[in-house]
């Protein structure tokens, strides 16, 4: 079995990599390209911590072959922040204390980001539905849901949030 | 978890795919979304030498209305089905089932309707890691002669837990299987063998190409029960197709009740269905009776192998059927 040369477009940058047909996208991201933001925990699509975007849709990178990802636009958690600034969603996670051990956070962020791209003002129910495929074993769901809902609706009063219902200055 | 090794082929057209299938036969598996196949491969339940990817086959991704039927390409994603107005209006049960498949972040964009129908039967004794299975004798589905789900069983008792299959069987769907140089159309109900090891009446060189749902004047509904709202497979599910009489107002002409996740295939329950013929739409007592018949009949097929206790699952069949009947009746009244 030989390695095959493919080009992946990740966070708007092209990467030339040599992969085995049985390499998953997650393995290539973490082991070949050092993009270790996406995490592997269950490895069978149940937990959601490896979620990345393919052409704007959230997918499990542990259940996507690297070969299948050619020709698509991939966005990982590293693509959310700009060089000097966190995205509103990431800042909101910090402000709401939505990160405990942090292992689920990259997946939560990517699932939430995909939701916010499609529906910029989601209500709590919509957020819960969109994040239903992600597991947080610290069980910090309430804070995570608040953080996502608040990113979409920054004008709403939010007592738990350090920014006190204001967006990041 | 690493995937076992395999060769990856990416045909560009349907003809090329069928050629490759004809050449590789049993050695090859079709990769569509991969959300079921790759999990099974990671657990060592399947070790195909070759994967044939449908990635480039956009010609198999469509939903259209033709000759009084809804035609769905087998590679159409679950997300596309949920977004389709036509399915929401004319095939409500399929819409409700697809909404419940897996999670938005996994199956809905990657997963396909063809893959959902063709997901292999499951059993919590079989769908385990290599390590778990290596510690004991192989079961029927694993190539052995034991069934851990039912003592002394001489054959595999794995359960079909596909939401899509139950909904489509409720809707009287047909499927088209393509092979090199031809194709055949069959009722989805005939597609199931009662064999837990190979649940589908399909040759290894065939490809599921299209799903055809007849549009009648009937209303449909689908209900399912699972532990977790996302990702989990149903432990009981029920679909109902309800047609009103043309002559008598609010009288039921025909009902089709299908129960899923209780046997080796979705179960069409003829006795429960026919018990509602000629009944009034408001006759909840008759609904309850039909649901109880459904429970009695479906219970004979089920074994304790998908998580919840068997008693609970059997009891919930009647609830799921009753709720689906009420929902379909409500829609029919409008």
Query: CB–CB of A1/A20 below 8 Å?
Result: yes
For residue B101, the distance in angstroms to the closest alpha carbon of chain A comes to 11
Return the pLDDT at B333.
87
Return the pLDDT at A167.
46
pLDDT > 70 fraction of chain A, expressed in percent and rounded: 93
Model confidence band, residue A165 (pLDDT cutoffs 50, 70, 90): very low
Strand partners, B236: B225
3-class SS shares of chain B: helix, strand, coil, % to 5? 35, 25, 40
pLDDT in tens, A2-20: 899 999 999 999 999 999 9
What's the CA angle centered on B312, arms B307 and B317, to 5 degrees?
A: 105
Best interface-test mutation with A: which of B12, B105, B228 has the largest number of A CBs within 10 A?
B105
pLDDT in tens, B75-119: 999 999 999 999 999 999 999 999 999 887 777 788 999 999 999
In chain A, ranges of CATH 3.10.20.30 domains: 4-79
pLDDT in tens, B281-328: 999 999 999 999 999 999 999 999 998 899 999 999 999 999 999 999
Q: Give the closest residue to B324 by CA, choosing from B268, B271, B256.
A: B256
Return the pLDDT at A13.
96
Strand partners, B280: B251
pLDDT exceeds 50 at position B267: yes
User: Strand A4-10 and strand A73-75: pairing?
Assistant: parallel
With an 8 Å Cβ cutoff, are B8 and A21 in contact? yes
* Burial classification of residue A120, based on how many CB atoms lie within 10 Å of its CB (0-12 exposed, 13-18 middle, 19 or more buried): exposed
Q: Give the closest residue to A63 by CA, choosing from B201, B18, B301, B115.
A: B115
Instruction: Please give the sequence-ordered ranges of beta strands (E in DSSP) within B115-206, or none if there are none.
Output: 174-179, 182-187
Mean pLDDT of chain B: 93
pLDDT in tens, A120-151: 999 999 999 999 999 999 999 999 999 999 99
For residue B243, the distance in angstroms to the closest alpha carbon of chain A comes to 33
ipTM metric: 0.91
CA separation for the pair B46, B198 (Å, rounded)? 13
pLDDT in tens, B126-169: 999 989 999 999 999 999 999 999 988 899 999 999 999 999 99
Model confidence band, residue A163 (pLDDT cutoffs 50, 70, 90): low
For residue A70, the distance in angstroms to the closest alpha carbon of chain B comes to 10
Cβ-based interface (< 8 Å): residues of B facing A? 1-8, 10, 31, 34-35, 38-39, 42-43, 51, 53, 55, 79, 102-106, 109-110, 228-231
pLDDT exceeds 70 at position B69: yes
pLDDT in tens, A27-52: 999 999 999 999 999 998 899 999 99
Return the pLDDT at B41.
95
The dihedral region occupied by A70, where left means phi > 0, alpha psi between -120 and 50, and beta the remainder, is beta
DSSP for A83-104?
SS---HHHHHHHHTT--SS-SS
Return the pLDDT at B230.
82
For residue A164, the distance in angstroms to the closest alpha carbon of chain B comes to 31
Q: What is the mean pLDDT of residues A152-169?
A: 63
* Burial classification of residue B66, based on how many CB atoms lie within 10 Å of its CB (0-12 exposed, 13-18 middle, 19 or more buried): exposed
CA separation for the pair A138, A136 (Å, rounded)? 5
The DSSP output letter for B108 is I
Return the pLDDT at A160.
65
Sort out which chain A residues have CB atoms less than 8 A from B39's CB and list them.
44-45, 63
Q: What is the mean pLDDT of residues B275-284?
A: 93
> Beta-carbon neighbour count of residue A110 at 10 Å?
29
With an 8 Å Cβ cutoff, are B8 and A65 in contact? yes
What are the Cα distances from residue B202, in Å, to B19, B186, B199, B231, B282? 17, 11, 9, 27, 42
Mean pLDDT of chain A: 91
Long-range contacts of B225-230, Cβ-Cβ distance < 8 Å, separation of 24 or more:
B225/B316, B225/B319, B225/B320, B226/B100, B227/B307, B227/B308, B228/A132, B229/A132, B230/A132, B230/A133, B230/B102, B230/B103, B230/B104
Return the pLDDT at A21.
95
The architecture CATH gives domain A88-152 = Orthogonal Bundle (1.10)
Q: Give the closest residue to A24 by CA, choosing from A61, A50, A73.
A: A61
With an 8 Å Cβ cutoff, are A44 and B229 in contact? no
3-state secondary structure (DSSP) of residue B292 = helix
Q: What is the mean pLDDT of residues B204-224?
A: 94
Q: What is the mean pLDDT of residues A148-156?
A: 86
Strand partners, B73: B210
> Beta-carbon neighbour count of residue B63 at 10 Å?
19
Query: CB–CB of B141/B196 below 8 Å?
Result: yes
- Taking CA–CA distances from A42, the nearest residue in chain B reads B1
Q: What is the mean pLDDT of residues B197-217?
A: 94
Cβ of residue A22 closer than 8 Å to a chain B Cβ = yes
* Burial classification of residue B308, based on how many CB atoms lie within 10 Å of its CB (0-12 exposed, 13-18 middle, 19 or more buried): middle
Return the pLDDT at A169.
42
Fold annotation for A4-79: Ubiquitin-like (UB roll) (3.10.20)
Return the pLDDT at B219.
94
In chain A, ranges of CATH 1.10.150.120 domains: 88-152
Q: Which residues contact A30 (CB under 8 A, 6 or more apart)?
A: A36, A38, A40
User: Strand B252-260 and strand B236-244: pairing?
Assistant: antiparallel
The token pair at A41 is: 């925990």
Return the pLDDT at B248.
85
Return the pLDDT at A168.
45
Domains along the sequence of chain B with CATH: 1-56 (3.30.43.10), 58-119+159-214 (3.30.465.10), 219-333 (3.30.390.50)
């Amino acid at each position: 079995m030989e390695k095959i040369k493919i080009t992946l477009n990740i966070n708007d940058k092209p990467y030339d990599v040599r992969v085995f047909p049985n390499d998953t996208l997650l393995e290539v991201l973490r082991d070949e390209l050092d993009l270790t933001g996406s995490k592997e925990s269950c490895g069978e699509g149940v937990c959601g911590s490896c979620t990345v975007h393919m052409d704007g849709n959230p997918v499990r990178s542990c259940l996507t072959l690297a070969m299948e990802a050619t020709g698509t636009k991939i966005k990982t958690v590293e693509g959310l922040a700009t060089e000097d600034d966190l995205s509103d969603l990431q800042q909101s996670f910090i402000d709401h204390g939505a990160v405990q051990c942090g292992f689920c956070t990259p997946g939560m962020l990517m699932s939430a980001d995909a939701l916010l791209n499609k529906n910029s003002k989601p209500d709590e129910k919509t957020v819960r539905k969109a994040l239903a495929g992600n597991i947080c074993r610290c069980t910090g769901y309430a804070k995570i849901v608040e953080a996502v809902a608040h990113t979409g609706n920054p004008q709403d009063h939010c007592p738990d949030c350090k920014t006190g219902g204001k967006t990041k200055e | 978890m690493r995937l076992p090794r395999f060769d990856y082929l990416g045909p560009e057209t349907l003809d090329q795919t069928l050629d490759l299938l004809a050449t590789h036969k049993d050695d090859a598996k079709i990769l569509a979304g991969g959300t079921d196949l790759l999990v099974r491969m990671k657990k060592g339940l399947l070790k195909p030498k070759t994967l044939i990817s449908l990635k480039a086959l956009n010609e198999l991704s469509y939903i259209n209305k033709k000759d009084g039927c809804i035609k769905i390409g087998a590679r159409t994603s679950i997300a596309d089905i949920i977004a389709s107005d036509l399915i929401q209006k004319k095939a409500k049960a399929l819409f409700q089932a697809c909404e419940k498949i897996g999670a938005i972040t996994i199956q809905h964009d990657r997963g396909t309707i063809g893959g959902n129908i063709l997901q292999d039967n499951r059993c919590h004794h079989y769908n385990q890691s290599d390590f778990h299975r290596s510690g004991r004798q192989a079961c029927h589905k694993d190539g052995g002669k034991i069934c851990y789900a039912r003592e002394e069983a001489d054959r595999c008792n794995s359960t079909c837990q596909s939401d899509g299959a139950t909904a489509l069987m409720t809707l009287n769907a047909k499927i088209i299987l393509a092979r090199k140089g031809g194709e055949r159309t069959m009722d989805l109900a005939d597609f199931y063998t009662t064999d837990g090891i190979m649940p589908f009446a399909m040759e290894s060189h065939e490809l599921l190409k299209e799903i055809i749902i007849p549009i009648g004047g009937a209303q449909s509904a689908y209900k399912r029960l699972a532990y977790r709202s996302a990702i989990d497979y149903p432990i009981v599910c029920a679909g109902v197709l309800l047609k009103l009489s043309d002559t008598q107002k609010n009288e039921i002409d025909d009902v089709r009740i299908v129960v899923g996740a209780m046997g080796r295939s979705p179960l069409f329950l003829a006795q429960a269905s026919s018990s509602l013929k000629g009944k009034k739409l408001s006759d909840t007592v008759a609904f309850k009776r039909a649901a109880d018949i459904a429970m009695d009949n479906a219970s004979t097929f089920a074994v304790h192998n998908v998580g919840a206790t068997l008693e609970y699952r059997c009891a919930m069949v009647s609830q799921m059927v009753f709720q689906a009947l009420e929902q379909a009746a409500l829609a029919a009244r409008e």
